[in-house]
Homo-oligomer: A and B are copies of this chain.
Amino acid sequence: MITPPLKTIFYSIEKTIKEYRRYSQDNISKHISDITLDQVLVLIMIDSNSKLNQKEVANILYKDHASITRMIELLVKKGYVKRKINREDRRRFDLQASEKGITALKKLKPVILNNRSNALKNITQEEIDIVNKILLKITNNCSKNN
C-alpha cells in the first residue's frame, strides 16, 4: 500500500502554494486585471535594479529562462516594461519599467505586502525560520541525490 499523496508533506506544500497564489492573484486582479502574480514579481525585480538582464531575473525568481522570456514578452506587449538591446553586449536586453509599469507597481506593492502578511498571520518568525530550514533540507536532499 502506497501512502495517498493526501497525507504526505508534498501534498501540503503544493496545496499551500496553490492557495497562496490564488489568494494573491485575486487581490492583484482587484486592482489591475491584466497582470499575473508572476508578472508582478518580474516587474518588481526589473524596477528594483535596472542592471538585471533576463537571465538574472530568472535566477533570482527561480524560474526557467524560457518562462521569463515569455513573461517579459507579455509585460512588453502590455506596455509595463521597455526593452532595449544592451550596447556592450548585444545578446542582452536592458529592461526598464515603463510609466505604466511604475504606476502599476505603486498600486501593487502594498497589495503584495498585504497578501504576504495576511497569509502569515498568527505565524511567528521563529516558526517561519523552522519551516525554511526544513524546506531547505528537502531541497538539498533532492538536488544532492540526483
Contact = CB atoms under 8 A, between A and B. Distances in A.
Interface of A: 2-6, 8-20, 22-24, 26, 41, 44-45, 48, 60-62, 109, 112-113, 116, 118-123, 127-128, 130-132, 134-139, 141-143, 145-146
B131 A11 contact: no
Nearest to A47: B2
Contacts of A141: 118-122
Given A20-B10, A131-B134, A132-B9, A139 B15 contact: yes
Q: Binding site of A, secondary structure by majority: helix, strand, loop or mixed?
A: helix
B134 A19 contact: no
Q: How many copies does the complex hold?
A: 2
A67 B16 CA distance: 18
